[in-house]
Chains A and B, each alone.
Chain A
Amino acid sequence: MKGFSNSLIPLSRGGPILFVMALLSGCSDSLPGFMNPQGPIAEAQNDHFWFVVILTLVVVLPVIVLTPLLLWRYRYRGNAVYHPHWGNSRWLDIMIWGVPFIIVIILAVVLWRKTHELDPYRPIASDKPPLQVQVVGFDWKWLFIYPEQGIATMGQLVLPEDRPVAFHLTSAATLQTFFIPALGSQIDVMNRMVTQLHLQANNTGQFQGKNMQYNGEGFHHQRFTTRVVDDAQFDDFVSAAQQQGQALDRQLFNELNQQSDAVKFARAIGLNDYQHGDLMTFSPIPSHLFDNVVNHAAIAHEATNNNNQETTP
């Protein structure tokens, strides 16, 4: 609650955003989001953010500092020199075109490199093979399919620590945006289309995940908890899901397609004490579930325990 008293400080004029930014970086440990990065992508984004801020301040700060000085020095009753017909200077022109130009060149070079480095489609280098996760956005809930494990979850996305995750994403309904701020980039999720995302978590913990693109009355409930665990716990999670998960058959899939948030969906399938952010597991799951959602094809009537699904490239 440290923020509240401080948040009123922007009342003072001039450069308050700097203060806000400093505040953000100062107490970042308690903050959600990429100011408190939990993975290599978010960390790199955080670095790039501050690089851009500092470099751009070279142009911005003089305006904020010099404007009040100019107002004082050339005030109406002042005794500074007054030249009503002065309106041109070659050297000043070169300065004011040149300095921003050089800064933009530097920013552009870094931008080009970082955009490629942090491209969400680019796999993260690691000695471990990436965990494959398929994400389906329904109106107002996320389904996470682990094709290699033959399980699916809702409410929680469980990820192993220090291992890259390769996401393939699609939407069974409206345009949505999949986002785990503490880990890295967001990516749009679209009907009949597949987008990709690569993330990695460096620390165990629970991080929020959300939809960033408004898609109706349940939008604010379309969130999930990202639970990062160590390898042993991840294996436990997988085997528990395989044994205790609910079969994802056609009837359950039809229920998924109804407009409802995770809690309403859980009620509809008989999980009466489910709360937002709890884990719901499904197993077995139909083969090619993700591809069939993408292609608007009917899914298999019976769920089959297929541990080796093909992923859509």
Chain B
Amino acid sequence: MTDVWSFIFGRLGWDALPFWDAIKDPTTFNIINGVIAGGAAGLVLLGALATVVWITWAGKWRYLWTEWLTSPDHKKIGIMFIVIAMVMLSRALIEAVFMRAQQAVGLDGGFLSPDHFGEFFTTHGTIMIFFMAMPFLTGMINYVMPLQIGARDLSFPIMNQISLGLTAAGAAIVMISLVLAPFSTGGWSGYPPYTELAYSPDAGVDYWIWAVTLSTLSSTLSGINFAVTIYKKRAPGMKLFRMPLFTWTALCTAILMIFGMPPLTVVTALLALDRYLDFHMFTSDLGGNMMNYVNLFWAFGHPEVYILILLPFGIYSEVFATFSGKRLYGYTSLVIATMCIAVLSFTVWLHHFFTMGQSASINAAFGIATMLIGIPTGVKVYDWMLTMYRGRIRISVPMIYAIGFIMLFVLGGLTGIILATPSVDYQVHNSLFLIAHFHNMLIPGTLFGMLSATNFWFPKAFGFRLEERWGRRAAYAWIIGFMLAFFPLYALGVMGMPRRSLTFFEPAYLPWTIAAGVGAIVILFAMLFLLIQLWVSVRDRHSNNMFAGDPWDGRSLEWATSSPPPEYNFPVIPEIHSRDAYMAEKEQGKAYQVPDEFPDIEMPSNSAMGVIIAVTGTAMAFGLTWYMWWLVILSGVVTLVAVIARGFARKTTRTISGDEVRRTHLAWLEHIRRTTPVDRSKEQTSENRGLPVPPVEGAVQ
């Protein structure tokens, strides 16, 4: 019986239930932790169940399958990426609140167990990087980039499905680990030897390894897809130096993904060899060395930082130019700065471990290389300020995020320069100062960028504007909450408080941890406001309809389509003659023209590949984690068969007739003729129906 059990379930046992300790040993402390963990598991199960019930009740399974899950449309895949990101953001944010709450009462005490706290900071970091930020920006590039370069889809639409499938599988594994615990306590960076079998024998680190591996494979494929698309599928006349800044940063991000992600795939695979097959890559004995892990990890880790920040730079470039009603200042400068950052990002990884005992000269060289990145970054900030200079600035929701970003981000830059200085880093390394620094880059930088982009492009994707009042409240709550939650961490770091501390014993820390806890609660409200904003926007969607397609007096090609755009994006591929292609058309009165003819359009046909990979990826990772070898082999075979079968598929495209395209396009143009253009003072009212009157040059509006 036990043989059959262990064949089927591997090492999975009752003790994997998150409240097992509380049942076995019901002390108050264990019950509190059991209730938190069990509650989380319950939420995951309830959430999944509620989704299934709701889809069944609404009778939407077929719609979901044909219109979304099997769709190769880059726009839909982009939206699905962002949905994953939002779900994961909610979870990781709640985890952050628990950690802040623990530290707010953490003077020689607290309510979380050490293991539970360890899982919190590990899943928080892993999710925020791999399953929040990465899917968010991958989704943004997916949605916007092909529209901006005048393409119909990515170069490899099915590979795009597979990227989504792999990310979904990784996210699913992290969610499953809430129900069948534990997760790793080794932090998002998973340094050995702590993550080796000798110190972490349970399934936690294995969950982490496979979740991260799935995510990195997904991002490598996405990077290849984006780069090839930008190189090969630009519309005629869209020279590299006519591309919008967003697309430029997407290109740099794609290049960084291609070169930056594989080191992590390799290093997690090597760690897996250590754990599964008794290799000694990173152990202390038999020739292993954990320093190799640290080097390889940051050979990924540092380019990753710029994967996370370059795209937001592109987003802010679009937002500042659009809402200042003005051409972007220093386009060439910005492109060069972006490329400089992309190249330099590969030369600085050692600054993540200045304290590992290298010689002073090595540390100094890497410190200087790191500070060099400050130059192009500083240039960008001033370019955005000069974009506002002599503009006509409208403080819309995307713009609030952008302004919050520019003023907070420079402070993160300042503390970055401090950390880049080895002699000072020896004091603040691994302290909460570091935590404050990278949150200062990633929240105002990446997250505000993504939220700004969401508010900016949402009307394009769904055909109605996001409601502004709750949008503003959310934006201000994010900004204030961020400052309250993370500025105290700078102080704590300078006072020598280590990161990942469950408990501390210095009374001087307490006021600061309480302030940070209050900040975390403000951020929780910011998240709540975002959800309210979404709800209110959906409720009022008819009065904020944006079918005409250009709510913000946009500059690049995506605004030259209806909202939402037809699946083929453009009835006829446009010809580009300058930067800010759509703005130029509008200024010359050449927007909204009827093409001479409407040829048939060939689009990729639906495929189940993405779904298959998502299922087999999840199953394989789960099987590997719990030693269910039959499941590993089964999912491997299914994947292989699916890939081979896909090779025999002959009918990979379908044709949309020119007549249908003509009907759709003429209907849209007819809608535009019936739409009243509004000037920018009414931009945020219901009168804005997506047809703008631009500000008048040189005049008071």
Contact = CB atoms under 8 A, between A and B. Distances in A.
Contacts of A212: 429-431, 498-499
Given A32-B508, A79-B700, A187 B407 contact: no
Interface string A71-104: 1001111111111111111001100110011001
B406 interface: yes
A9 B414 CA distance: 20
B490 A20 contact: yes
A211 B671 CA distance: 67
Given A93-B330, A188-B353, A119 B360 contact: yes
A44 B423 contact: yes
A139 B313 CA distance: 43
Contact of A82 (B429, B498, B697): B697
B491 A24 contact: yes
B375 A52 contact: no
Contacts of B330: 87-88, 92-93, 96
Interface string A1-15: 101100110110110
A8 B483 CA distance: 10
A81 B390 contact: yes
Given A48-B421, A57-B414, A186-B355, A220 B504 contact: yes
A192 interface: yes
B695 A101 contact: no
A11 B483 contact: yes
Interface in A122-140: 122, 139
Interface residues of B, number: 112
Contacts of B665: none
Contact of A56 (B414, B483, B694, B696): B414
Contacts of B430: 177, 186, 212-213
Contacts of A89: 386
B368 A63 contact: no
Interface stretch (B147-155, B174-182, B509-517): B509-517
A118 interface: yes
B34 to A, nearest CB: 17
B48 interface: no
Nearest to B200: A216
Contacts of A8: 484, 515, 518
Contact of A11 (B285, B375, B403, B484): B484
Interface residues of A, number: 106
B11 interface: no
A84 B391 contact: yes
Contacts of A240: none
Contacts of A53: 414, 418
Interface stretch (A107-115, A158-166, A265-273, A297-305): A107-115
Given A174-B193, A187-B357, A220-B504, A48 B424 contact: yes
B111 interface: no
A187 B355 contact: yes
Interface string B411-455: 101110110011110110111000000000000000000000000
Nearest to A86: B390
Contact of B194 (A60, A117, A216): A216
Contacts of A173: 193, 199
A60 B410 contact: yes
A89 B372 CA distance: 23
Interface string B389-408: 11111110000000100110
Interface in B149-165: none
Interface string B512-542: 1011001000000000000000000000000
Given A49-B427, A56-B414, A85-B327, A66 B390 contact: no
B459 interface: no
B659 interface: no
B393 A75 contact: yes
Contacts of B417: 52, 56, 107
B495 A31 contact: yes
Interface centre among B186, B411, B422 (most CB of A within 10 A): B422
A184 B410 contact: no
A232 interface: no
Contact residues of A: prevailing secondary structure: mixed
A74 B388 contact: yes
A87 B331 CA distance: 8
A53 B415 CA distance: 8
Nearest to A79: B700
A3 B654 CA distance: 67
B488 interface: yes
B698 A66 contact: no
Interface in B645-701: 680-681, 694-701
A202 interface: no
Nearest to A180: B496
A190 B364 contact: no
Interface stretch (B2-10, B251-259, B376-384): B376-384
B506 A32 contact: yes
B185 to A, nearest CB: 7
B421 A11 contact: no
A44 B426 CA distance: 12
B361 interface: yes
Contact of A20 (B115, B491, B510): B491
A309 interface: no
Nearest to A176: B194
Nearest to A192: B284
B701 A77 contact: yes
Interface string B191-214: 111100001000000000000000
Contacts of A3: 491, 508, 511-512
B407 A64 contact: yes
Contacts of A57: 414
Given A30-B508, A223-B505, A96 B378 contact: yes
A149 interface: no
A76 B394 contact: yes
Given A31-B508, A220-B501, A20 B487 contact: yes
Interface centre among B330, B407, B424, B680 (most CB of A within 10 A): B424
B499 A63 contact: no
A35 interface: yes
A125 to B, nearest CB: 16
A104 B375 contact: yes
B407 A111 contact: no
A35 B493 CA distance: 11
Given A76-B392, A83-B390, A107-B417, A71 B403 contact: yes
Nearest to B695: A82
Contacts of B329: 86-88
B363 interface: yes
A276 B506 CA distance: 13
A52 B498 contact: no
B393 A186 contact: no
B565 to A, nearest CB: 26
Interface pairs A-B: 8 shortest CB-CB:
A181-B496, A4-B511, A185-B426, A217-B114, A119-B360, A87-B327, A212-B430, A191-B284
Interface of A: 1, 3-4, 7-8, 10-11, 13-14, 16-17, 20, 23-24, 30-35, 42, 44-45, 48-49, 52-53, 56-57, 59-60, 63-64, 66-67, 70-71, 74-89, 92-93, 96-97, 100-101, 104, 107-108, 111-112, 114-122, 139, 173-175, 177, 179, 181, 184-188, 190-193, 195-196, 208, 210-220, 223, 276, 296
22 contacts: A4-B515, A10-B487, A17-B415, A17-B490, A34-B494, A63-B381, A74-B389, A76-B393, A76-B701, A82-B391, A83-B697, A84-B392, A88-B330, A96-B378, A114-B421, A185-B426, A187-B357, A211-B498, A214-B498, A216-B114, A218-B114, A219-B498
Given A63-B410, A84-B694, 4 more contacts: A3-B511, A20-B491, A96-B382, A186-B430
